[in-house]
Structure 1
């Protein structure tokens, strides 16, 4: 057991634990190169420019009955599921009561697989005591395959004297309409009778489900190969990725894979296509070293990515994009909060 733990090439027993760099270098060297090439080019690209007036979105997820010590202020607070550990009414209500005490103008919440009571299919797995009572969502917006439209009034930013003489026009100019869609379903990661909102991995539970003009998409699962322990296999959903590509929301917030916490930007271009195609390539022999399709994906990412980078940095052009946020607060599988709260201006 000790020797296995010390071996940098050993495979984690839990799919939600990361492989070491040495293990990935041994098991998937070409995909490791592809992954880092794509993310280096993405890192070098400019940040998407927020619409004016901008709206500050504060993103959290996977609090698992814990309360983060410091949640930054903002216009909208989003919790992307796994409010609790046991999924009981009492634990869910405690998280609701904490969330409504925060000063954010609007608070949006979806369920996670640990929020057992919220899925009628898994509710019977709770004891009678855990199911006792009712939930009071108060001012929270709970989204379960539901769309929400919010009008956000931002602080006036104009210094134009004419605006001061026409306060009504100034107020209109500092309002934004934001359309949010939330859905909790995830690829199966545990017993169907206990973990909420699961579907068999590989099944398409997403196509044509998200409204086309969605500004912010909130899901519990990540899209595959994005902030989801992408190597060697990825814990997100490939069908969700295709749905995000179709809709192209400004912001996509999720959680579920604690070790994937962070923020990135997806540019919907040929470099991204090559990245996804490469990571989806199966190579059972020689760890992909002799797979020409995999190497061709690396070449395409470098070539297409460099062209897009030059177009961005030299000519100021930007491809369609989506900001992705894995907002998990839980630090890995430690049972303790530790990841920073993600804040995005859109």
Structure 2
């Protein structure tokens, strides 16, 4: 199975080079710039024409319309374009189990912010064993999570969950300057941010064969 990961395109998806083709295209959140429904509709149209058999999307901290009163309409927009939207939920594709969650530790005053500790563990505790590909907007603590000033913004509790369930992949975004791929203890960690810290289209999609 060929998987392609992208994240943090912030309504600049039309400036990316062609994504090619494959089995599953995954967007790890922050696909809008302002978090409104028009941005979402434009993104959904872009994703719908990509040459992938399946397309999975989670929201990110910029994607406000997925947490406010427009949530139902925003989710329906993605589904109507043939996209799989995950929000503390999973899907199985050809025997491969995916799980997605948009939450991240408090980071300014954004969507899907949760306090570290009990509040965010509520979401991570929903992740079942046996997940092959875990998709979160924010990174795990200490792995592809350092901000430009060196601060590790990742989540300790998410790292605990990864160590417990041992997914084959943890894919995220959120921290633009931490783009990259790193394998740790049998899990491939991916930060798939397409935009750099200055919101310029700089990084290529991450492709993985499983």
Residue of structure 2 in register with 1:58 after alignment = 4
CA distance in 2, matches of 1:217, 1:261: 17
Q: Which runs of 5+ in 1 are unaligned?
A: 1-54, 125-130, 152-176, 268-320
Report the count of equivalent residues. 201
State TM-score, norm by structure 1.
0.55
1:203 offset after TM fit, Å? 4.4
Aligned pair partner of 1:105 in 53, 57, 67: 53
Task: Please state whether the residue corresponding to 2:159 is helix, strand or coil.
Answer: helix
Residue of structure 2 in register with 1:205 after alignment = 120
1:328 aligns with 2:193: yes
Residue of structure 2 in register with 1:47 after alignment = none
Task: Please state whether the residue corresponding to 2:120 is helix, strand or coil.
Answer: coil
Contact 1:204–1:239, Cα closer than 8 Å, also in 2: no
More helix by share: 1
Residue of structure 2 in register with 1:28 after alignment = none
Task: Please state whether the residue corresponding to 2:41 is helix, strand or coil.
Answer: helix
CA distance in 2, matches of 1:201, 1:147: 23
1:150 offset after TM fit, Å? 1.1
1:70 offset after TM fit, Å? 2.1
Residue of structure 1 in register with 2:132 after alignment = 215
CA distance in 2, matches of 1:204, 1:136: 27
1:178 aligns with 2:96: yes
Q: Which runs of 5+ in 2 are unaligned?
A: none
CA distance in 1, matches of 2:154, 2:118: 12
1:336 offset after TM fit, Å? 1.6
1:235 aligns with 2:153: yes
Task: Please state whether the residue corresponding to 1:96 is helix, strand or coil.
Answer: helix
CA distance in 2, matches of 1:247, 1:264: 18
Contact 2:78–2:84, Cα closer than 8 Å, also in 1: no
- CA displacement 1:77-103 (0-9 Å, x = unmatched): 000000111110110111111011001
- CA displacement 1:43-76 (0-9 Å, x = unmatched): xxxxxxxxxxxx1110000000011222132211
State TM-score, norm by structure 2.
0.90
Residue of structure 2 in register with 1:225 after alignment = 142
The 3 A distance-change label for structure 1 pair 93 and 233 is same
- CA displacement 1:216-266 (0-9 Å, x = unmatched): 100000000000117854111000000111110111110000000010101
1:335 offset after TM fit, Å? 2.0
Greater Rg over alpha carbons, structure: 1
Residue of structure 1 in register with 2:33 after alignment = 85
